[in-house]
């Protein structure tokens, strides 16, 4: 009888363990993978992005392979992370930003990090005291103007609503794109509770609201519109690869918000040690040297030398109004542009 009870107990325990095979317990006890999986956004892994160079050098130094997976633009990346139906199948995330910080941290998905190279990051860019999300590059949102278009450049957010810019502007969707979300936050910081009225007045000026930055900027360079939401550093690309200063970033009277792009290690990763090495490598001066002419952003490592192309990259006064965390769904702004192609 005692043996029977023991046998039943053993069967019960084995059954319980089997039921846990799909749970976080089983995931945490599975062996580490020899390859890191990194979720990021489209342009990071594009043919002109830094992913290939970063993966090659990291593998050469550490012997660890890196597999990048695009989840669309930065807004879509956060949405993929927050899906409640499954644990993210990734070790590292690259491409969230300061406008998503609170929502990303409140998810509990990220692990605190202890990094050897964190002291090389410019102090004003360290916006997460818990070290769960680490800055790897930064820039300022700005509108880029095609100086060959014959259109007079705007000098403020208010100017963008002028009838002379009807169907002349391309922006990104704040629901799926971090530049789109950054622009929404920019307008809210300037106009406060009147931001909805601003977006209504802006609607006639918008030719397209694209799901991602690369789609919108591609339309701009094809000549579809003379103005596009982008970064003050964007002219450096055209200087480096096209030897032209045709495309110029515009300084607005209201000041310009800073976007800080962030990277982190998922708490669910089975490769936490390797993933932390990867983040440390990402902010090293060696890796940061790839970023100016692939990301077209400023490196966070203060020891990184900027290339000559950045002589045309704008550094503008920062926004005077404070950017607050959005307390509403970005769809509310997008819906104000209904009818925009």
254-268: pLDDT as tens digits: 999 999 999 999 999
Quick one: pLDDT at residue 332? 83
Residues 192 and 281 in one domain: no
Of the pLDDT bands very low, low, confident and very high (cuts 50, 70, 90), residue 6 is very low
CA separation for the pair 214, 233 (Å, rounded): 15
* SS3 assignment, position 136: strand
Q: Is pLDDT above 90 for 125?
A: yes
Sign of the CA dihedral running 169, 148, 219, 99: negative
Residues 185 and 323 in one domain: yes
Residues 155 and 195 in one domain: yes
Kindly report the backbone phi and psi dihedral angles of residue 305, in degrees, each rounded to the nearest multiple of 5, phi listed first. -85, 135
Calculate mean pLDDT across residues 39-45. Answer: 93
Residues 203 and 325 in one domain: yes
Kindly report the backbone phi and psi dihedral angles of residue 68, in degrees, each rounded to the nearest multiple of 5, phi listed first. -95, 140
For residue 188, what is the enclosing H or E element? Answer: helix 178-191
Rounded to two decimals, the pTM is 0.84
- The b-or-e profile of 65-83 (16+ CB within 10 A means b, else e) is ebebebbbbbbbbbebbee
Quick one: pLDDT at residue 111? 98
Residues 182 and 263 in one domain: no
CA separation for the pair 266, 113 (Å, rounded): 10
Residues 151 and 129 in one domain: no
Of the pLDDT bands very low, low, confident and very high (cuts 50, 70, 90), residue 285 is very high
Q: Is pLDDT above 90 for 76?
A: no
Quick one: pLDDT at residue 29? 46
Residues whose CB falls within 8 Å of the CB of residue 112, separated by 6 or more in sequence, listed in order? 130, 131, 132
4 within some domain: no
Q: Is pLDDT above 60 for 7?
A: no
Q: Please count the residues of the chain.
A: 341
For residue 68, what is the enclosing H or E element? Answer: strand 65-70
How much of the chain, in percent, has pLDDT values that exceed 90? 76
Query: Comparing 23-27, 53-57, 188-192, which segment has the lowest mean pLDDT?
Result: 23-27
* 131: containing domain: 34-138+259-307
Q: Which of 2-6, 150-154, 189-193 has the highest mean pLDDT?
A: 150-154
Distance of CA 170 to the CA centre of its chain: 19
**How many domains does one find in the chain?**
2
How crowded is residue 120: how many other Cβ atoms within 10 Å of its Cβ?
Answer: 17
Residues 176 and 214 in one domain: yes
Residues 325 and 203 in one domain: yes
Average pLDDT, the chain: 88
198 within some domain: yes
CA separation for the pair 300, 124 (Å, rounded): 10
Quick one: pLDDT at residue 115? 95
């Amino acid at each position: 009888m005692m043996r029977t009870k023991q046998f039943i107990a053993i069967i019960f325990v084995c059954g319980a363990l089997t039921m846990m095979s799909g749970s976080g317990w089983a995931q945490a006890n599975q062996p580490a993978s020899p390859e890191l999986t990194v979720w990021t956004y489209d342009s990071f892994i594009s043919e002109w992005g830094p992913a290939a160079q970063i993966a090659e050098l990291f593998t050469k130094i550490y012997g660890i392979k890196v597999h990048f997976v695009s989840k669309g633009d930065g807004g879509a990346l956060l949405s993929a992370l927050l899906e409640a139906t499954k644990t993210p199948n990734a070790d590292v995330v690259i491409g969230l930003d300061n406008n998503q910080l609170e929502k990303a941290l409140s998810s509990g998905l990220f692990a605190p990090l202890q990094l050897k190279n964190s002291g090389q990051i410019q102090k004003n860019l360290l916006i997460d005291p818990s070290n769960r999300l680490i800055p790897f590059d930064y820039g300022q949102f700005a509108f880029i103007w095609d100086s060959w278009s014959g259109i007079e450049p705007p000098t403020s957010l208010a100017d963008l609503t002028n009838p002379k810019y009807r169907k002349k502007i391309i922006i990104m969707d704040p629901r799926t794109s971090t530049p789109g979300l950054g622009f929404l936050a920019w307008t809210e910081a300037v106009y406060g509770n009147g931001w909805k009225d601003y977006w209504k007045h802006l609607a006639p000026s918008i030719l397209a609201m694209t799901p991602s930055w690369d789609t919108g900027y591609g339309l701009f360079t094809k000549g579809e519109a003379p103005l596009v939401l982008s970064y003050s550093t964007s002219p450096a690309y055209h200087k480096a690869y096209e030897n032209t200063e045709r495309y110029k970033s515009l300084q607005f009277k209201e000041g310009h918000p800073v976007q800080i792009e962030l990277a982190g290690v998922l708490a669910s990763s089975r490769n936490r040690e390797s993933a932390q090495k990867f983040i440390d490598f990402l902010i090293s001066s060696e890796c940061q040297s790839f970023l100016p002419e692939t990301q077209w952003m400023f490196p966070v490592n203060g020891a990184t030398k900027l290339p000559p192309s950045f002589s045309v990259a704008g550094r503008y006064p920062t926004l005077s109004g404070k950017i607050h965390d959005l307390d509403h769904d970005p769809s509310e702004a997008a819906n104000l542009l209904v009818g925009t192609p």
